[in-house]
Amino acid sequence: NFQRTKITSGNPLLVKQSKRMRTGTSSRVICTMATGTLRTFVCSFSIIFLFKLNGFFCQQFSVSFQQPSDCGVDSYFDISSLSCVKCGPNQVRLACECQTGFRVLVSNGASITCQQCPDANQGVTQDGYGCIPCSGSVGENGKCQCPKGSVLVERDGNGNPLNESRCEACNATEPAFSAPDRTGNRCVRCEDSFINSSQACVCGTSNIQVRISDIYIGGKLVRIQTAACLVNFYTHAHISCQSLGNMCVMNMHSFSTINNDACGLYNTVYRATAAQGSSQDVSYWRANLPWLYYGDQLGLASRIIQNEPLPVGFSFKGAQKLQAAVYSVRGEFLRWESVGGGNLQLCPDTLTRQQSAFTFGTAYKQSCVLSVSELLNGYPEPVFYDVFLVIQKPQEDKHLLAVPLLNINQQFNGQFTNEGSNMNNWLLTRRLMLVDTLSGRQNSLSSSPGVIRVASNIKIGFQLVPNTQKGQVYPPLMTVTYSDIPVTDPTTQTVTVSFSLEYTMDQEEARVKTDIALGVLGGVAVVHSLLKTASWKRRIASPLIDLQTIMKFLVFYAGDLANVFFIITVGTGLYWLIFFKAQLFVSVLLPLPAQEERFVVYVGCAFALKTVQFLHKLFVQLSVDIFFIDWERPRGKASKHVEGSGEAKSQASSVSIWRTYFVANEWNEIQTIRKINPTFQVIAVLFFLEVRPTTLYSSVPKHLQFASKPISKILKEPLKEHTIMIFFTVFHERFVEDKIRQFVDLCSISNISVLLLSHRCFGYYIHGRSVHGHADTNMDEMNTNLKREAENLCGQRGLLPNSDTQTFQISITNRLRVKYDRIIEPINRRSGPSRLVDASANPCEQSTKAYHTMNRFLGSVIDHAHREMDYIVKDKLLFERLIGMEFIEPLDKSIFYNDDSHSFADVFFYGNEAVLLIFDTLFFCVVDLGSQNFILAAVLTYLQQLVFRLIRNGMGRRNLASKTLVDKRFLI
């Protein structure tokens, strides 16, 4: 009789303790330490392994790859050591058992000797050690057979062999109610359920016969398999040991020094069989036992995984081949399988993707939601895998490298050891299963499981050796996480599972270099911001350092620091793009999503700071001072009738205002033009990232063809906007249309100059004075003037004689600025507080008077008519252009700097294309990183461009009308 016990450590699936079960099975006596010795071992159990040899810390745990078909006629395939073992004569393969009709002559536990029975009518005894004449027939298995309902008797009551076997019928009626036991060796009482239903050893007509499986997960079977595994001369010892190991795997490799669970009993056997030595020269692989543990010494995991690289290098054209030894739950070796066809992957996928996923360097992840009913139907019992990496050097045989397993659910003395990131606390193991629907079944296999266990997350990770140039990697690591699902309604219940392959490298060096770049560029940004603040102070003619100055410095620094973060992210992306995509032999690998967190943080910081800079730029553009200087003069005098006198007096004829309105409208239109087309930009980016994904941004090297290439956050950011900008800047502006230069030409044709003050004492000047003297003319004269200018029959358009320079940066004196403010003051006062407004004044007359006054004043300044407000023209120094600062302060004379680059566009969107492009790029990236949706990112990017364009148009139009004194009703 066996007491069924509960296996509790780490396995909530194992069934509860049941009542004592009776059995009439007669087993042969095992002459070895069985129950008592086993209990002694269990009680004294305190550590996992007896031998831990430090000399094996650096070994690669590789074995020769052998299949059952490789074993010759005189060898068998040992499922424990996964190798061919030589058999003696008259023995069959796969177990070194005697052939049919042969008995065991000698057995020493490790090998046997077989002898054929001398007579054809003789059968081999049930124990396999003798030959006996059969009273009936000899079966196909070479043993005597009895009819149904009879038992085979080969020995008398004292155990002496009979001269001839005999068949004795079991009395199935009252009072015996006996029937042959499962082995057919003795008559035993029938189960009460049979007798109660039919008063015989058969099921009643209204009952269904149910067979209790021998695969019964409980204390009974665990102890049976443990005892069988301990007995060396037992023929199927290796199968029992494999079965015991499988029970330990179903128990999540968990064990304790107190509970006598499957893993504890396995380790007891491991210690008791130390004299048998190791398999395949691996210290952790005991002969005739499955290899389940690497040991329990702290720090051992890091030495196994990261101590010594694999003896072969990998390239992106090759593949890492994984081979798995497959075992049934009963401990039988089923087959060798090549990993990659979905055998370790529960999620369905195309064959192309499944095969391509195991191409070296291919980042792969597949997640899905599976129905519990599908798992119950597809996995009636668990299958177990020992995974190896195939290592084959040229001109050498194929070897298998054991792949260690990190079971996240493993417990040691009730504590989860593998959940943390500290590798020194990990306990590495071997062998895994995918689905366990067996442990949760109570009483028999026919019952429905109350709980199933599923490998919800399997990950195979390869780590690149630092500074390698030959594609060397450390031994791979498999990580598995199991989930327990209580089965309530299988048709509606689901479970989420995932399978992934990851390729990583130590990113510490890259992180240090990034930190250095951030520190250096951040320091440069501080200096540059200080220079911009000093330049701003000089341009507003204010020597004081006040709160406004500090705020300006912070705004400038926000923009420069945003550029620093952006440069780092783009530089990082370009680095990975160039070195990862172009490599043939593996030297660098992309960061994992978790390692991209710093990259994501940099993108977020860059976006926040760039938003501050963009809003500041927008505010500055909406507050600039601008005036259109009309050079047109009346051609003659016109008669005007004077009321009351009856006389007509002559006065200068008026000049048309429509040219000014026309130039103002053109200025209004170009305020929001961009160097690139934003709509085309968004559509193109969306096309290349969503509609037609390019391999440029995928996390797959260019040498690989993969059905569905995952997009890398790092690779997709650096180039998706900049190709479009290069197209518009290099090609479109030069060969199609340049609206900024067209506006300057329009000013010359219209005889209108533009004075623009972006700061109090700094701004821009567009010299639009016509070389023909008049622009308010008819079509014939206009065409004649243009023809003369094309044929060089007139002067040049430049401000200075014999010069074509029409655009200037101007640094004006404080005296000139005060005069400018005095003229425009009545208009500004009109829009100020009501107490300062002259109620008797006519607003239209004030505007007209101020316009003419300002026009005459600025025209006279340009013509050098004011000695105290004169100016000089010069070129900027190279260093002045580089740092954007003027070294000479305009004290007595204003300074006009030649500006062939048309930098007056800085007050438009056009001149700030870099800021806008970076802002759009970062906006797209932030939305994409947050939503993982390219379409949403593109739509929101387009909408924000539209909103800010409308704001800039509306408020810019209002500012233009108030500063130029042009009625906003004419700005269309």
Whether residues 193 and 313 share a domain: the answer is no
Secondary structure of 328-379 as H, E, C letters: CCCCCEEEEEEECCCCCCCCCCCHHHHHHCCECCCCEEEEEEEEHHHHHHHC
Single residue among 505, 520, 544 that ends a domain in this structure: 505
Confidence of residue 756 (pLDDT cuts 50, 70, 90): very high
Q: Judge whether 888 lies within some domain.
A: no
- Which of these, 747, 678, 588, lies nearest to 913 by C-alpha position? 678
Confidence of residue 15 (pLDDT cuts 50, 70, 90): very low
Residue 931 to residue 927: CA distance in whole angstroms = 6
Range from 503-512, 721-730, 849-858, 891-900 carrying the lowest mean pLDDT: 721-730
Single residue among 461, 480, 505 that ends a domain in this structure: 505
Global confidence as pTM: 0.68
* Rounded mean pLDDT, 339-359: 80
3-state secondary structure of 184: coil
Residue predicted with more confidence, 722 or 149:
149
**What separation in angstroms does the CA of 925 have from each of 509, 516, 560, 604?**
26, 24, 19, 9
Contact 311, 393 (CB under 8 A): yes
pLDDT of residue 391: 86
CA–CA–CA angle 708, 711, 717 (5° rounding): 155
Whether residues 465 and 399 share a domain: the answer is yes
Per-residue pLDDT reduced to its tens digit, 504-516 = 888 888 888 889 9
* Rounded mean pLDDT, 120-138: 87
pLDDT over 90, % of the chain: 30
Does the structure show a pLDDT above 60 at 637?
A: yes
Confidence of residue 118 (pLDDT cuts 50, 70, 90): confident
pLDDT of residue 625: 94
pLDDT of residue 521: 94
Print the domain residue range for 540.
Answer: 512-622
pLDDT of residue 612: 96
Does the structure show a pLDDT above 60 at 168?
A: yes
Whether residues 186 and 298 share a domain: the answer is no
Residue predicted with more confidence, 390 or 792:
390
Per-residue pLDDT reduced to its tens digit, 941-966 = 999 999 999 999 999 999 998 888 88
Does the structure show a pLDDT above 50 at 827?
A: yes
Confidence of residue 527 (pLDDT cuts 50, 70, 90): very high
**What separation in angstroms does the CA of 756 have from each of 186, 237, 312?**
114, 97, 69
pLDDT of residue 195: 80
Question: Taking the CB of residue 119, how many other CB atoms lie within 10 A of it?
Answer: 11
Whether residues 566 and 582 share a domain: the answer is yes
Whether residues 520 and 497 share a domain: the answer is no
pLDDT of residue 717: 53
Q: Judge whether 66 lies within some domain.
A: no
Secondary structure of 786-805 as H, E, C letters: HHHHHCCCCCCCCCCCCCCC
Range from 123-137, 218-232, 489-503, 616-630 carrying the lowest mean pLDDT: 218-232
Whether residues 411 and 553 share a domain: the answer is no
Whether residues 321 and 446 share a domain: the answer is yes
Longest dimension (CA), the chain: 165
3-state secondary structure of 149: coil
Q: Judge whether 730 lies within some domain.
A: no
Contact 591, 699 (CB under 8 A): no
Per-residue pLDDT reduced to its tens digit, 23-67 = 333 333 333 333 343 443 333 333 333 333 333 333 457 788 888
Top-ranked range on mean pLDDT: pick from 501-515, 522-536, 716-730: 522-536
Range from 459-468, 644-653, 686-695, 914-923 carrying the lowest mean pLDDT: 644-653
Contact 341, 321 (CB under 8 A): no
Rg (CA), the chain: 46
Q: Judge whether 119 lies within some domain.
A: yes
Range from 3-7, 8-12, 176-180, 726-730 carrying the lowest mean pLDDT: 3-7
Does the structure show a pLDDT above 80 at 226?
A: no
* Rounded mean pLDDT, 359-379: 87
Residue predicted with more confidence, 99 or 93:
99
Single residue among 577, 600, 622 that ends a domain in this structure: 622
Does the structure show a pLDDT above 80 at 693?
A: no
Residue 894 to residue 872: CA distance in whole angstroms = 6
pLDDT of residue 256: 78
Q: Judge whether 660 lies within some domain.
A: no
Does the structure show a pLDDT above 90 at 524?
A: yes
Contact 645, 670 (CB under 8 A): no
pLDDT of residue 5: 31
Total number of domains in the chain: 3
Range from 42-56, 134-148, 701-715 carrying the lowest mean pLDDT: 42-56
Question: Taking the CB of residue 685, how many other CB atoms lie within 10 A of it?
Answer: 22
pLDDT of residue 41: 38
Whether residues 145 and 182 share a domain: the answer is yes
Tokens of 195: 């007798």
pLDDT of residue 3: 32
pLDDT of residue 682: 83
* Rounded mean pLDDT, 694-723: 49
Range from 92-106, 174-188, 792-806 carrying the lowest mean pLDDT: 92-106
Q: Judge whether 13 lies within some domain.
A: no
pLDDT of residue 664: 93
Range from 471-475, 602-606, 908-912 carrying the lowest mean pLDDT: 471-475
Give, rounded to a whole angstrom, the gap between the first and last alpha carbons of the chain: 102
Does the structure show a pLDDT above 60 at 8?
A: no
For 160, how many CA atoms within 13 A lie in the half-sphere containing its CB? Answer: 3
Whether residues 342 and 437 share a domain: the answer is yes
Q: Judge whether 346 lies within some domain.
A: yes
Q: Judge whether 666 lies within some domain.
A: no
Residue 321 to residue 310: CA distance in whole angstroms = 14
Torsion of CA 352, 593, 434, 371, to 10 degrees: -80
Per-residue pLDDT reduced to its tens digit, 426-473 = 999 999 999 999 888 876 667 888 899 999 999 999 888 888 877 788
Q: Which residue has the tokens 């079991």?
A: 170
Range from 173-177, 734-738, 873-877, 890-894 carrying the lowest mean pLDDT: 734-738
Per-residue pLDDT reduced to its tens digit, 235-289 = 455 788 888 899 999 999 988 777 678 888 888 888 888 888 888 888 889 888 8
Whether residues 301 and 448 share a domain: the answer is yes
pLDDT of residue 733: 58
Whether residues 518 and 559 share a domain: the answer is yes
Top-ranked range on mean pLDDT: pick from 78-87, 226-235, 301-310, 833-842: 301-310
Residue 273 to residue 290: CA distance in whole angstroms = 13
3-state secondary structure of 411: strand
State the chain's mean pLDDT as an integer: 80
Whether residues 457 and 485 share a domain: the answer is yes
Does the structure show a pLDDT above 90 at 407?
A: yes
Residue predicted with more confidence, 662 or 847:
662
